[in-house]
């Protein structure tokens, strides 16, 4: 397995990580047995980078990841996140919290659920608009000093927020949605990351599964699937985006790979400081995703993909309005 560096503080991970969120909710039914097998298969295939969060489940995903990876703890990097607080009586309700006292209590809770002594990479999941980023990151820095966390990360931040945070403590990674149809990091964030020596971790590099070509109609989503509420999967947007994916399928067929592999190869080609974390809960999809490492794109192919998927090509926003207000802050 190829490896890449995140930041300049010493964090090295597999070139492709595994997003674990869908193993617990958001993308249809849970299958803990298959998810367990997928996690272990990922380790066998050389994946060392596993992404979870306290909000996934909520809490159940950290428990699953920690339990399964316990036997290989020294071989893997576990990243988790805090800051999205879900209502215990109604998990569909959520608020954002970056208060220093919450930083500390969230870390202790995640350590317990994961069953580890130290979290390898600890992210602020979303920026709290009521708390200066300096205060939140200052509390996160205290966790590093206490030995509870090795490296710090931020999720869905803008360039100015990243610079302010970095002035308090080195940031190793920024997680942001990034794919052929979500190009937000190119609007200043990637430049800021490279100026500061911060790695970029793209989540949803396959457009929440849409770029795989496997989703053909709205009815393909299970009743409780999060994507039913996403503007990109609704109404006329669905067909417009399906037309985009058809172009990706044609190019992949001509190249002898799957649409997933072509889409991931494009993300991987954006720089050696970019580590995508495609999510899956199935071993066959994991193997398909890892196959992207065998497809190195030439400049002409990158230009062709850029022409097929220029910034803003996808129809609809990537989140509903309330959630869009919390990204790129």
Q: Active-site residues: which are they?
A: 56
Asked if 208 and 277 count as a contact pair (C-beta separation under 8 A), the reply is no
Residues recorded for the chain = 329
B/e letters for 154-169, b = 16+ CB within 10 Å, e = fewer, are: bbbbbbebbbebbebb
Q: Which residue has the tokens 């299970």?
A: 222
The backbone region for 312, taken as left when phi is positive above 0, alpha when psi lies in -120 to 50, beta otherwise, is left
Helices (H) and strands (E) counted in the chain, each on its own, are 11, 11
3-state helix, strand and coil shares in percent for the chain, rounded to the nearest 5: 45, 15, 40
Under 8 Å between Cβ of 20 and 53: no
- C-alpha span between 146 and 216 (Å, rounded): 49
Helix, coil or strand: residue 103? helix
Measured CA to CA, the distance from residue 135 to residue 165 in angstroms comes to 9
d(CA 328, CA 160): 10
């Amino acid at each position: 397995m190829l490896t890449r560096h995140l930041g300049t503080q010493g964090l090295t991970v597999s070139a492709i990580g595994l997003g674990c969120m869908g193993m617990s909710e958001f993308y249809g039914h849970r299958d803990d047995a298959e998810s367990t097998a997928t996690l272990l298969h990922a380790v066998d295939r050389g994946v060392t980078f596993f992404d979870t969060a306290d909000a996934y489940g909520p809490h159940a995903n950290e428990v699953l990841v920690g339990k399964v990876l316990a036997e290989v703890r020294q071989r893997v990097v576990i990243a988790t996140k805090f800051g999205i607080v879900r209502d215990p009586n109604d998990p569909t309700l959520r608020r954002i919290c970056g208060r220093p006292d919450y930083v500390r209590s969230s870390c202790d809770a995640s350590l317990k659920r994961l069953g580890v002594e130290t979290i390898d990479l600890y992210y602020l999941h979303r920026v709290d608009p009521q708390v200066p980023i300096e205060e939140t990151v200052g509390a996160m820095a205290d966790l590093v000093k206490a030995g509870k966390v090795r490296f710090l990360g931020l999720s869905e931040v803008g360039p100015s927020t990243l610079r302010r945070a970095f002035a308090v403590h080195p940031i190793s990674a920024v997680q942001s949605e990034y794919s052929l149809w979500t190009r937000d990091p190119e609007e200043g964030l990637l430049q800021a990351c490279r100026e500061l020596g911060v790695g970029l971790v793209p989540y949803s590099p396959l457009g929440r599964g849409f770029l795989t070509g496997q989703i053909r109609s709205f009815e393909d989503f299970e009743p409780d699937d999060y994507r039913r509420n996403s503007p990109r999967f609704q109404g006329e947007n669905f067909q417009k985006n399906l037309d985009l994916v058809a172009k990706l399928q044609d190019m992949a067929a001509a190249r002898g790979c799957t649409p997933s592999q072509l889409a991931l190869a494009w993300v991987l080609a954006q720089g050696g400081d970019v580590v995508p974390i495609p999510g899956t809960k199935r071993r066959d999809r994991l193997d398909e995703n890892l196959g992207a490492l065998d497809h190195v794109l030439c400049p002409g192919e990158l230009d062709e993909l850029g022409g097929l998927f220029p910034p803003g090509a996808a129809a609809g926003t990537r989140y509903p309005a309330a959630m869009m207000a919390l990204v790129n802050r």
